[in-house]
Structure 1
Amino acid sequence: MLPRRRWTLTGQVVCLLLCACALDQVLAQIRYSVPEELEHGAFVGNIAEDLGLDVAKLSSRRFRIVSGARKQYLEVNLENGILFVNEKIDREELCEQSLVCFLHLQVVIENPLELYRVEVEILDVNDNAPSFPWSEFNLEITESAAPGSRFPLESAQDLDVGSNSLRSYLLSANQHFVLDIQTRNDGSKFAELVLQSPLDREQQKTHEMVLTAVDGGSPLRSGTAQITVTVLDANDNVPVFDRSVYRVSLVENAPRGTLVLKLNATDLDEGANGEITYSFSGHAPPKVRELFSVDSHSGEIRVKGIVDYERASVYELYVQAKDKGPSAVAVHCKVLVDILDVNDNAPEVILTSVSTPVQEDAPPGTVIAVISVMDRDSGENGAVDCQIPGNVPFQLHSSFKNYYTLVTSEFLDRESVSEYNISLTARDLGSPPLSTRKTILVQVSDINDNPPRFIQPSYTVYVTENNAPGASICSVTAFDPDSNQNAYLSYSIFDGQIQGMPVSTYVSINSDNGNTYALRSFDYEQLRNFQIRVQAQDAGFPPLSSNVTVNVFVLDQNDNAPVILSPLPRNGSVATEMVPRSVDAGYLVAKITALDADAGQNSRLSYQMLQATDPGLFSVALYTGEIRTIRRFLDKDAIRQRLVILVKDNGQPPLSTTVSIILSVVDSVPESLSDFGDLSLSPQPPSNLALYLIVSLSTVSLIFLVAIIVLAAVKCYKDRDSLGGYALSSLGAACSYCYKVCLTPESAKSDFMFLKPCSPGTPRNNAARGADNLALSSQSRCSSVNNGATTPNEVKLHSLSFLNINLHRHSLSTVYQGHAHTHTQGNYPVHNGTRTRTGFFHNGAGGMKALGSEQEQMETCCACRFCHFALIERERGRKCVCVCVRARARVCVCVFC
């Protein structure tokens, strides 16, 4: 092997940039030419500069080259963009005897995706000298051979190609032979030895020459072989082929033993001199000897190996024939075997891996992969068509010859399909067609395009009061269809206030799992329900969130015992009530009014007699708390009766309280009723309005008392004038008033229960010693807190001095009428279904004058002391207030007066 010259790349590297367009991505082709056998690190080209790329971004854009070769012959330095030799290239190993040799590379750059095709031509260097299969050839030629006879010689082989391949043969000087150099169809050369002058065995039996094969490289390389010619005695006749050149066709992949051709040679001699044998000539290539065989007797040429059109489309066979006589001379013929292509190669699919996974928000037209296909057949057998299914959001576009790009045809949604198995089918146009399928896995990467979703539109939870701090309230759950950190959720509670306090002082939430906890013990009586808003936020960028409302209802526990509102002990002693001895059975002695701060069944109260001086004398209503007489009083009954009433709620377990009351049995009601205030004032539950009213009245009682006296005097004077001479008594005279009070335990305020109209009944007369006489008749209706029972409660007031008040209770139809020794009488008749208000006054002659009337669907109470005819109505907002006019008497005044 001649010394290899140093290859200088300057001026030898050819860079050709061909631009093409595949959708929105620019595909370009670059061609470099480099010699074979370069050492590692040898410069090929600055690929970054030739493509116009920013060298600083090669790494971040994942610049890489993909080759279909078995070895990675070339590589790119990402720091400077230089393409260099990674492994020594042997052209003869890579491309064999092909006239052109290319390394096909695909350059892939991401962000955005760009694809380039690079062809590197491997140039041959003269690193191989021609060589003969044998170092010595022996030829036998009869002395009778005529000048011009040809004798083929074994061909020399040179692995190099082009100008470095075998170019010529040289023969050493001699007197009888010359060389004739011929060229085969594939461009290879072979030599024939031509007899130039007759031979004479008697003068020289052998002739020796040197055959030299020379290539066209620089420097020249050559190989030699020794030729020895033996001269034989004359043979009269030699075999003759019927043709000098034969041409036949053979389909590739023909089975072994297939007959290619039967040669026919004739010899006019007889006997052994006429028997012909066939064989390959000495210069038949070794490859031919591997694929074909010649029958020495019949001359049949048959297939011996696998004939492949893709390796060679034509074969040249050199066959010789000679007889068996002494001094036999061989004759030669050439057989050209054309190989016919059949569709025996399925397309080959080579996938260049690119952007995978692909983001789900990638726009349509995004290149996913570059695919190259190849079919080793020819013509239509080598034409390939590629297809993918139509039910995937991808399309296949042809870019270069036999190159396809797989692109997106629409936006992807990872939450619907996270990956695609795309079946690529490459089918040639042969008959029958052959196809190849390759599955391309495309994974879709997630982006944060979905906010969290709660499994419920809102949450309603119930928490029993008196819970322990830290107790779990509920668990809110949200899910995010995204993946990885885009689906990692954290929970929080929106800032807000509950009863003026930050919501963070009431509840907390576990940010990881959404479990919500109470930070304090809830009290149903203070806080019955509240609302919080919980937010779920993912960890994507930018983060997405959603929120949900949690309604928390506090459930009541029976943690409050009943509270007695009336009767209340006075001055620290037991409450006392007076009962006339003459009352009948069923007389309402007193009413126990209680309140339970709980709700529902926990606040449903029941009353029962726990202790009594005489259990057979009094009874208490189970649900109203009314204490009534069971029978009339007897002389033997104690005048002081002590009752202990148990008030119990309906909770589980029930809570209770007791109240004691002293009942004093008297023959008549004393003039000064120390307990009238207890009766006239309705039960006072813990109410801001009631407390405000009590404090206000107690504060201004003295001022209000004086105002009442003055206003009453002025009013009476005006009324006297308006009646046209009908005189009214002065306030100094004794007056008698009759009105009815009903206390309702269900009301949170101390209001009068307004009366329901009833039919007029026979009045019961009671003498009064005052100057004025005012009569009222009505039927009362009092609803109890629990069972809605109606109980009449009517009282009569007499005054022994300024206003003398007496209390009496009668049955449902009882009408009280007060008679006074005066000249004025006011009467308020009440009729069924309507209320009629009419004022009548004596005019001194006993006549009556109607002052006015009003008929409405209303319930009534009592008449105001100052406006007289104005009724006290719940619907109009007028409420009765009993105001002390003097220390011993009370009058009814509406809140407007």
Structure 2
Amino acid sequence: MKPLFLTSLICMGTIIYLVNCGYCSSDKQNLPSVIFEIVDEAQPGTVIGNIPQTLWPDTSTSFSLILTTSSKFQRFNEYFSVTKNGTLIVEKLVDRDNVNEVCGPLDCCQAPLCWIDAFVMFLVDKTSSTASILSLDSFANNRPSARLLIRIVDVNDNPPRFLVDANDHAGFTISIQEGGKVSMETLPSAVDLDSIGNGILEYRLASVDPRQGGVDVFKLTYQKPIIPSSNSSLGGTEHDNGRKLWKPSSPILMQLRDLDYEKLEDRRFDLLVTAIDGGFPALTGTLSVTVNLIDINDNAPVFLNTNSSALNLLENTTYSPNPIHQFVATDADSDENAHISYSLSPLNDIRIFEKFSVDAVTGSLYLTSALDFEVYSERKLFVIVVASDRGSPRRSGTTTLTVVTQDVNDNLPTIIVQENVTVIEGMNYSKPVLRFYVKDEDLVSKDKVSCRAATYTPKDAEMVAGRALLRLQEVTTNAYFLFTSGIFDYEETPRASLEIVCIDNVTNIASFDGDQKVSETVIRITIAIGDANDNYPEFGFSEFVTRIPEHAITRTIVANLTARDADTGINARITYSLMKASVQTSGAHPACDVLEALRIDSVTGLITVADGFCLDRERTNEVSVFVVAEDGGGLSTSVKLRIKLTDINDNAPLFEGQSLFAIRENFPEGFTVGLIRFTDADQNGNAVIQLQLSANNTRQVLESFDLVPKDEGLKSSRSTKKGVVTGKNEVSAFLISLTSFDRELMESFAVEFVATDMGDPPLQTRKTVYVNVLDENDNAPVARFPLPGTTIGYHPKVHTNSPSGFEVCKLRATDPDKGENGTVIYDLQTHTNGSRYFSLDRHSGRLSTTWGRRRRSADFDSTPPTSGIYCLQVLIYDSGVRAIKVPWEFFVLVSPRSPLFDTVTSSPPELVESTEDLGNRTTMHQKMSQMTGVLSLFAVVILLVLIVSCVCMVRLAQRSKTKPQPPSPGAKENSSHATVFCPSSLGMVYTRSHMTLPESTVGGICTFSTMQPLKYGYGEQESWNLHSHEGDCSFLEAQERLLPTPSAKELYRPMQFESKMGNRACYSPMYPQFSL
């Protein structure tokens, strides 16, 4: 059959077939069909199948759009969706048993199967080959459309239910008379929302209490009318697997025997009625039935006209004082037994109590709430009314009225949008941007609604854009496409609207004014214009200048730069960032990145300080960055941000120059020691510097130095205050001496300067420089040991037979000068009687014997001297350029021959005479080894004697009643007494003594006084232990704790005293002033 309308529209690479075939039944039968099956309770997202692949599995045609419509099931697009490639997907839970939305509109609530019949139209890509299109046309009867059938298979998901009252209480009570004929009472029917195959199959009766024997007194009876099978027009039979199906009638409770009221067991029976459905597994529902035996009331009320036809009511009929129906019942009894009252039976559906009411006296039925034909459960209602008398016991009769709701054209046409494409500005579209179909809930309006674009003048900008750029096209009955006919600009209008006039061609038979008129509806369709990212963010300026203090604290606000974008959505969502300027200001901090110093909020554009350390005005006066605003589409704009840094007093004066100066001693006052220079990198008042000597300096420093400006006419100026020099950014001053210096009194000075700027608050720098006084050779050497004119040779004793090279002592002379000027040279003069017997080391001052040499020398005599005193004269002088020489004369006592040295040095005369014989050298070495052994033995004996003496002295000290307590560390020794431990047999005579030893101290502890303290500085008390060996005063040792200063430590060397029994004199070679 040829279609009534066929158009081929070719544009922009897509072939669109528009078909208008009237959607008649004969056309549907000739279309290719695709059948899918889903089960009850199919979940959203369930993939049902692919329509094109099922219809034409061998075709390579690509489909870009599929339109589906169903005139009978207008909610098709609410429950299902079709993707662009033709896949059918469940969008909403498919509940087959939903009367109002699924099985009601499909008229299959009790049918074994529910069928959805839909019409499918395809949109074919132009890129498909011609052969594929022809093949498709041959299958589709030259039409790219098909018939879609969806079969919904019922699932037994609803159990039977007994609804006996408005409160959903599954309980029912009946009363029967005693002595009457066998009673038959109709019981409520159970309801099962499933299909007839899964619906109620049978009823069963049981007794709640088996002892009552209820099943022996009553039985259930009901009819089982078989539903004949018939072939469905959609294919297949309505019976599953050829099984016979029936729908049981309402169950009837039949009395099996007479009951006697006088028997207590006959007065009440509790029964249980069970309804069983035909599902697998079967589901059940129960009803409690109570049977009460009552006394005789002969006649029950009887309704008249029970065979009347159904009552037809128009939907939307509202409450009226006039009843919609009159129930009439009669009772053959008299008096109270004939007094009838009417009521709605508890067997009614709950909706009956919501919609109707009955007058208890007159039996008038009233409509309390309007009926709606579009609610499928309200299209046919069954009202059960009970007429009861007042006899004892009371008897009742029931009747059922069928109320049929008639459709009224009371619904305006509406559109159901299947696809609404957002039109992106600046783009051409060849496909429809909106697909919709028209729906009218009224049954009388089915396929009688037509739509067109409104022709009146547009009211607003959206309507103007829609009138100019949108075009409506009808593709089939109640299905429409909306195409674009131009290019949109989102910034001009974000939406485009088109008003569509839909006309319901059914006259309004329910108009209140009695006129029959056509219903017309204006529907506004709006297309969203998608924003294209065709606008750059804009700041409104190309450069922004701001000022902040240098080293601003973190989170200090620098600027808040915001941009605007004419686009919307993500294209107008601006993200801010910072970018380095291509040419950065010179002098920027080398260790900093300007992007690390600043932080920008990517959303608000607020720029704050992240690290103020990098913002240093002294390195750069200005920092520049680019603020970049980028929208969500990738378009960006930048603006230059110039940040000028204002100065803060963050730099203290900085010392520049050397920290060590030198001046020669004895230079006259006014000598320039060096240049003192401070700088300040700040600006204005923060850079004004005052330089002066610190008050922390010692008085000697303040009296010895002063500052004078370097240049009065340049940057520095001498203040009226002495020693204060002022300058801006830089101050330079000369450090001059105010006196002449003696290095021997003060070798160096630590001079502290204070440089203070005039900032708020002021910053101060203290710097200490060191001035060393250079040495001049202005001091002569001084003989320290032995003192001039004194005699040495007592300890160690010098004997006439002392070996050659025996050390007499070490001369010690000092020179307070430094370096070469203080290095003393010892030169032994040859014109004295002792110069031939002694040799003197020029540098160390070691004085040693020379006699006994095996080889004769012109300068020295190898012949031993006789005992006696010999004079030596030494010339001492320093090593300076202009050396100062001082003569030094002292005496050496040579004692008589000592047997000890005779034992050690004795040897056969022939060894002495043959010293030049090389063959006898081995014998001489052996003798020397023997002498070494003897000396070692002698040293051991002396050590043992010393140990025994020490033990005895310790014991003696423990026995003493009083023990001298040393002064505490740090205390200065002021005592003029010392304690000397003397053996009782010791007698002494002192010469040149500064100390006096009382005679009474012989044999005990002696106390002697000095003319000056024996101790200088801080330390522990000294004690001198005088040891006696065979009448000789051998050692006097000073025990000490070393002091912190070298000068003090030098005074605490051991003092050695020596005594000779004949002269009874002791002498201190270390410190002559302490000689005893």
Using the size of structure 2 for normalisation, the TM-score is: 0.34
Using the size of structure 1 for normalisation, the TM-score is: 0.40
